[in-house]
Amino acid sequence: MSLTTALPGTGHASDCPPAFHIMAKPRGAICNLDCEYCYFLSKEMLYPGSRFRMASDLLEAYIRQYIEAHRTSEVTFSWQGGEPTLMGPAFFRLAVELQQKYRRPGAQIGNTLQTNGTTLTDEWCELFREHNFLIGISIDGPRALHDRYRVDKGGKPTFDRVITGVELLRKHRVEFNVLTTLHAGNAGHPLEVYRFLRDEVDARFIQFIPIVERANDTGFQEGDVVTGRSVTARQYGDFLCAVFDEWVARDVGRVFVQLFDVALAAWVGERPGLCVFEPTCGTALAMEHNGDVYSCDHYVEPAHRLGNITDVPLNQMVGSEKQRQFGLSKSDSLPRHCRECEVRFACNGGCPKDRIIDTPDGEQGLNYLCEGYRRFFNHIDRPMKLMAAELRAGRAPANVMYQLRMEREALRQTFKVAGRNDTCPCGSGRKFKKCRYGKMQPADYRPP
């Protein structure tokens, strides 16, 4: 069938955006672990009787269509699960071969793979290193915090096996980042988690993902009750603020925390580059082991199935009206509370899957994490403005660390000479002894 002919109910190839992102799941939801909060394990129920292995001819069709659909010089494949390494290294060697077969002259092909790290071997790491895979490792903090929910099928802890995987990646100099989910078990320990990732795992790229897990039997985005494993909005905000304060004091330009980078983009007026904080979404899809394509990795459910790549060309599904509407509904459904919010430019209401509470004036569709987002984005406003100004002036945002140190030192000097009954130099109008600065240790002074 011609790529320029749309099937009924599908889109036109020319409506496909020039770049998009698909999380491909060659083993579907199959995983060797049984993390208690995992949103994907239940997707196994969608394919009863399946072997959950992507066939080589399907892999070839996918790689060809994915490359053809991109109108960019760089094309990145993302492999996820379940646990994608359960396909074995031969599958990914074939994938790399096929990528070269269909690569347009001059185009760059990249691969990212998200793993729980427990299956990694020297052979895997040699393959990753040889073909420049960027590996994402899931780790939730030091042993006790990690093992709280990340257990294997027998309920056994997994920390040691993950650390062995990390050591193998380091030994083979494979590039990796860490993905840390925030949940009831670890969100109360921000500095412990962050310092562990920075100092023990030696991670230079860190993603924090909040667990907002619906309590239902379907595994779909239904209902408005979350499980006790979910992070609360307040915990999430407090966690991000505490980590940000540590990062902005000493790690800018050295450790990259995805959410802080995304926020800086918003403060300089650029697009965040992360679907959760974009005004609209719809360009981050998911593909199951049998070629079924869904609107988003968090909406792998029948109502959001766009079709199968053996029936409908990928670019038609990505450019379909159904997918366009999925992406637009993110902004169309934004409650007034968000539209009038002072940090909307950075938050945009967050991910629709988490919009399950009511606004203070009773409108539906406010994000469950709103309180945390609002606190965090307001908390970082001043340092973000300083970093944005440095960027605009063509200087390194890392200068913010020096600026904040100098400001703090100047404050310390001012407060040092303030008498207990003087008016506080912070401008509050209160007596120094009654103001919060009068009650602080000098090391804790921050600009008002």
Neighbours of 350 (CB within 10 A): 21
Q: Which among 269, 313, 222, 304 has a CA at the least distance from the CA of 39?
A: 222
Count other Cβ atoms within 10 Å, centred on residue 338.
24
* CB contact set of 110 (below 8 Å; sequence gap of 6+): 74, 75, 76, 77, 132, 134
Q: State the nearest-atom distance from the C-beta of 296 to ligand SF4, in Å.
A: 3
Which of the ranges 68-76, 123-131, 276-284, 424-432 carries the binding residues for ligand SF4, by CB under 6 A?
Answer: 276-284
How far is Cα 152 from Cα 157, in angstroms, rounded to an integer?
7
What per-residue string of b and e applies to 57-67 under the rule 16 or more CB within 10 Å gives b? ebbbbbbbbbb
Q: Does 341 bind ligand SF4 (CB under 6 A)?
A: yes
Does position 347 interact with ligand SF4 (CB under 6 A)? The reply is yes
214 binds ligand SF4 (CB under 6 A): no
Task: Candidates 165-173, 179-187, 208-216, 274-282: pick the segment binding ligand SF4 (CB under 6 A).
Answer: 274-282
Q: Residue 374 interacts with ligand SF4 (CB under 6 A)? A: yes
Nearer to ligand SF4, 369 or 435 (CB): 369
Active site residue 354: no
| 259 touches ligand SF4 by CB under 6 A | no
Sequence-distant (6+) residues with CB within 8 A of 406 are: none
Q: Is 25 in the site for ligand SF4 (CB under 6 A)?
A: no
Q: Which of 424, 43, 105, 400 is nearest to 248 (CA)?
A: 400
Query: Do the Cβ atoms of 13 and 3 come closer than 8 Å?
Result: yes
Query: Of 31, 67, 343, 388, which one interacts with ligand SF4 (CB under 6 A)?
Result: 343
Query: Is 370 a binder of ligand SF4 (CB under 6 A)?
Result: yes
Q: Could you say whether residue 276 binds ligand SF4 (CB under 6 A)?
A: yes
CB of 274 vs ligand SF4, minimal distance in Å:
8
The kind and range of the H/E element at 96 are helix 89-102
Rounded to whole angstroms, the Cα distance separating 132 from 93 reads 12
- Would you say 336 and 359 are in contact if contact means Cβ atoms under 8 Å apart? yes
| Nearest distance in Å: CB 422, ligand SF4 | 38
Binders of ligand SF4 among residues 311 to 330 (CB under 6 A) are 330
Q: Which of 140, 238, 251, 297 is catalytic?
A: 297
Q: Which amino acid type is present at position 29?
A: A
Q: Which is nearer to ligand SF4, 251 or 292 (CB)?
A: 292
* CB-neighbour burial class of residue 420 (10 A; exposed 0-12, middle 13-18, buried 19+): exposed
Among 109, 135, 338, 384, binds ligand SF4 (CB under 6 A): 338
Contact (Cβ atoms closer than 8 angstroms) between residue 98 and residue 59? yes
CB of 97 to ligand SF4, least distance (A): 30
**Of 53 and 353, which CB lies nearer to ligand SF4 in the complex structure?**
353
Query: Among 190, 219, 350, 397, which residue sits at the site for ligand SF4 (rule: CB under 6 A)?
Result: 350
Spatial distance between the Cα atoms of 366 and 355, rounded to a whole number of angstroms:
5
Among 43, 183, 298, 304, binds ligand SF4 (CB under 6 A): 298
DSSP letter at 157 equals B
Q: Does 352 bind ligand SF4 (CB under 6 A)?
A: yes
**Pick from 330, 332, 336, 364: nearest CA to 350:** 330
Q: Provide the token pair at 267.
A: 């403060």
Q: Which stretch binds ligand SF4 (CB under 6 A): 34-42, 239-247, 255-263, 351-359?
A: 351-359
Which span (35-43, 91-99, 236-244, 275-283) binds ligand SF4, by CB under 6 A? Answer: 275-283
349 near ligand SF4, rule: CB under 6 A? yes
Q: Does 240 bind ligand SF4 (CB under 6 A)?
A: no
Binding site for ligand SF4 (CB under 6 A): 275-276, 281, 284, 296, 298, 330, 337-338, 341, 343-344, 347, 349-353, 367, 370, 373-374
The catalytic residues are: 297
